[in-house]
Structure 1
């Protein structure tokens, strides 16, 4: 390979162009260099490097085998559904993955690298499944129908670059789409789904949340609008709630729950509220308490324990659980 510097970035830019644009060679070179400059200021590639990259895309043995016609003025895939993301790793890409895994072994006792190591293992397992003789080793919990992951990277970059976006959104119960100005400030994952929080400039509302799923129709970057910084302590914001829905004027309350059939041990190994406290009294070892707002996600988590949990306080939450159980009883006692 003539130039492996930022090759992965170039390949992603080229793949995007071949799927969505119709550039001449000169236009393509300019677009790629503009993309490189964003991440590598002052750098770019030459005509020769771009030609070598095109060879990699067309190469069916050591490249991507892309349907990219030769001797044409406009460079575009003949198959609009093709993407290099569907192809196996190139030799140098596999080398980078292996090198990253070896590097992480040096930090295996540092918890902050655990998630990255997990991601690399999952990625490697997915790649190996393309080999028909490979035996599946990992069976992990994921949402196969989830399409919102495609928004994660562009929104992450928008937050880092402090870019304002115009969002087109349609809720599950909405008949028409709505459009609003949005200042993305934080990303949050909950229940195998991502959400972006920020300032809704159209409604002038702080801590507005948008789910990254089919309800988010599209978004475009807005020029000429000053990005509004957040003054929210997001750590406290999320630690005083379960999930992502925070009702307007919600107040933090003390919640006490009692477990049955030894289920308190399960809760303590995977708490839905990380800042829970245990009681010192011997007769209360099956109880915990925590401070949180009352929302639907809290109720759902409590209901997931079925008959093995009882809410002792507050009264308002007890009443909600009581109403839920009465409604459920009607479903099964007909």
Structure 2
């Protein structure tokens, strides 16, 4: 095994390099050391360590069995679809996961670490499935979701304040659009990630891009100056359900009445976290909150079917009537 210090970082950098272009040995070493220095200032690896790392990639038994041809002056995968993220964990990687779980156990009563601990358990469970272990966890996830590959690169672009050139094609678009984009935050909704930021091409500050097949690819624009955001994103999202905010939308008071005891379900899993309950005894089946009216709010309301009634505002009541009338036409004999 090669030098184990920051090996996981080196392997990820090398995997990225091998997937994206052909590198000569010296260029590969320089690129790798630049990546290491960002997280470990003043540190770098030797030519010997890089050669050992390359052996790990090619090793069919104790390595990644990567399609990295030998006897060539440059290094690149012969299979453009290969990535080490699809390979089983190495022994030292499994050790790191288990060590992380042990470390987190010290903070098991701290809610800040709950989601990370949950993620590690899910990760370990999926790894064990590859060894034909009995499934223990069954959780809600999007198996067809391919956009997750963009999450880390976009996260790093935000951290490094990098300007991006985005290639995007909507489901109904006939051709690909190219735009200058300044990424500011990442938001998850309904098992899908979205990146929000400044669309400099269209001069829109609150532009959102879904991380799915509509996002073709992107590259860093090195010579462009990054524009910071002045938006309070916390407040921006607290007054809406989902991620779509029409430009003319205004915050309104929404009042809902539940039937068949469904208010209890809503209160344990509200789609609008800032909801309020009424004090009047005859209104214990009602809640209210302030939000904008958008399609995602309507979709959440419709998910309750006949167990929910919109009392205010009239605009939202009318949208619910239209939805109900349309669905009735589908099932009329």
Specify if TM > 0.5: yes
State the secondary structure of the residue aligned to 1:106: helix
- In 1, are the aligned partners of 2:293 and 2:316 still within 8 Å (CA)? yes
Q: Are 2:62 and 1:59 aligned? A: no
Q: Are 2:110 and 1:115 aligned? A: no
State the secondary structure of the residue aligned to 1:219: strand
Identify the residue that residue 308 of structure 1 maps to in structure 2: 307
Identify the residue that residue 100 of structure 1 maps to in structure 2: 100
TM-superposed CA distance for 1:2, in Å, is 4.4
TM-score, with normalisation over the residues of structure 2?
0.97
State the secondary structure of the residue aligned to 2:143: coil
1:16-165 superposed matches below 5 A? 16-132=16-132, 134-165=133-164
Whole-Å separation in 1 of the counterparts to 2:319 and 2:39: 51
Whole-Å separation in 2 of the counterparts to 1:330 and 1:310: 20
- In 1, are the aligned partners of 2:2 and 2:56 still within 8 Å (CA)? no
Identify the residue that residue 212 of structure 1 maps to in structure 2: 211
TM-score, with normalisation over the residues of structure 1?
0.96
Whole-Å separation in 1 of the counterparts to 2:81 and 2:168: 25
State the secondary structure of the residue aligned to 2:260: coil
Whole-Å separation in 2 of the counterparts to 1:158 and 1:128: 33
Whole-Å separation in 1 of the counterparts to 2:78 and 2:201: 41
Task: Give ranges in structure 1 of 5+ residues lacking alignment.
Answer: none
Aligned residues: 333
Structure 1 residue ranges, 4+ long, deviating more than 4 angstroms after superposition = none
Identify the residue that residue 221 of structure 2 maps to in structure 1: 222
Q: 1:253 to 1:167 in 2, by over 3 A?
A: same
Identify the residue that residue 10 of structure 1 maps to in structure 2: 10
**CA deviation profile, 1:197-247 (whole Å, cap 9, x unmatched):** 111111111111111111111111112222111111111110000000001
Whole-Å separation in 1 of the counterparts to 2:140 and 2:297: 21
Task: Return 216-225 or 258-267, whichever deviates more.
Answer: 216-225
Q: 1:67 to 1:201 in 2, by over 3 A?
A: closer
State the secondary structure of the residue aligned to 1:246: coil
Whole-Å separation in 2 of the counterparts to 1:182 and 1:129: 39
State the secondary structure of the residue aligned to 1:9: helix
Identify the residue that residue 166 of structure 2 maps to in structure 1: 167
Q: Are 2:240 and 1:241 aligned? A: yes
Identify the residue that residue 323 of structure 1 maps to in structure 2: 322
Whole-Å separation in 1 of the counterparts to 2:81 and 2:184: 33
Whole-Å separation in 1 of the counterparts to 2:207 and 2:321: 30
TM-superposed CA distance for 1:61, in Å, is 2.6
TM-superposed CA distance for 1:34, in Å, is 2.1
State the secondary structure of the residue aligned to 2:185: strand
Whole-Å separation in 2 of the counterparts to 1:179 and 1:54: 36
State the secondary structure of the residue aligned to 1:140: coil
TM-superposed CA distance for 1:187, in Å, is 0.5
